[in-house]
Amino acid sequence: MSFFKRIAPALTLMAMAPLLTEVLPGATRFSSIFVFPIEMCVWGGGCLLIRTAVRKWQLGWVNMLLLAIALAIAEECLIQQTSLAPMVIRLKGVTYARSFGVNYVYFLWALIYEPVFVVFLPVYLVELIFPDRKHETWLSKAGLIVVCIFFVLGAYLAWFSWTQIARPKVFHIPAYNPPLVAVIIAVVVMVVLIFTSLSLLKSKHTASVPLKPWTPWLLGIAGALWAVALYGIVVLAFGDFPDFPPAAALGIGVLLILIALLLVPRFTDDLRWNSNYEYGLIYGIMIGSMLIGFLGFWGQANADLYFKIIVNIIAIVWMIPLGLKVKRRLTV
């Protein structure tokens, strides 16, 4: 196997994580696409490191979830600090759901969105693309060192470009330095999550009663609706409906968590679950996220909107032959 074939899954995953998280939904626009290499280092590198640990030690989805939450906390409290710093986007000009120095509705949204879109969707999608290498770690020791270096470098660049340049010079908001106690709490929580994932929960499955999976089409529709509802939480966090009770917004977030945790693991534990169901769920979540993301371009007709339309069409069309390949593998 040539060098490029060996690293192809790893490189694909590093690109897929920011694509699914930032570009396709419209958070990273054409006018800011220059940050994509940094996102590859942080989101892609973090996702790749998490998958490497999970596959190397044969861990399960719970372990992956704990590591993904630790990555989200690093982003929200240490790197870009978006859950601690006063919100840059305030759609109605008011501060919504902020207490004790935390944008708590936004923070809950991030703890749902980032593990799902940064880690779970990219990992399982790329494994559908490279099914013969599904159980490999995709990283050698040298590759692991390189990815760690790029992750640290990307994290620094993301912190500096957002907190020291974008906030004061682009949005004209004073640079923010989080309280030391908040940083300590975030680090402690991250260490506990990582230690728990790697040391205490080395089991592939949790004790659950398997549930017959819905059809791939129904899973796709449900995934799309779930993604749309999740988008609604971040709209609330940006203060578009300032009179909406924050407690209700938190309740919606908790409900989305329960739906995902109570259904998906039981589906995957069923013997009838296969890659076709997996594909349907991933595709549905992607489509829901891409379509609802157009609300952020309401009333605009510029290069950013056209860029989103083009990349969304490419993603939708590209997923079709992948789905056909998945079906063919199951019939062989």
Mean pLDDT by 10 residues, the chain (332 residues): 90 98 96 95 97 93 96 97 92 90 97 98 98 93 96 96 88 87 96 90 63 96 98 95 96 97 95 96 98 91 94 97 93 75
pLDDT at 116: 98
Question: In which domain, by residue range, is 137 found?
Answer: 3-331
pLDDT at 169: 86
- How far is Cα 12 from Cα 20, in angstroms, rounded to an integer? 12
Q: Which two tokens stand for residue 142?
A: 């040298």
pLDDT at 1: 74
pLDDT at 270: 93
pLDDT at 202: 56
pLDDT at 332: 67
- What CA–CA distances, in Å, run from 231 to 31, 77, 131, 190, 293? 22, 21, 31, 25, 8
Sign of CA dihedral 120, 122, 127, 128: positive
pLDDT at 201: 58
pLDDT at 199: 83
pLDDT at 207: 52
Amino acid identity for residue 72 in this structure: A
pLDDT at 100: 93
Beta bridge partners of 102: 99
DSSP symbol at 212: P
Domain count, the chain: 1
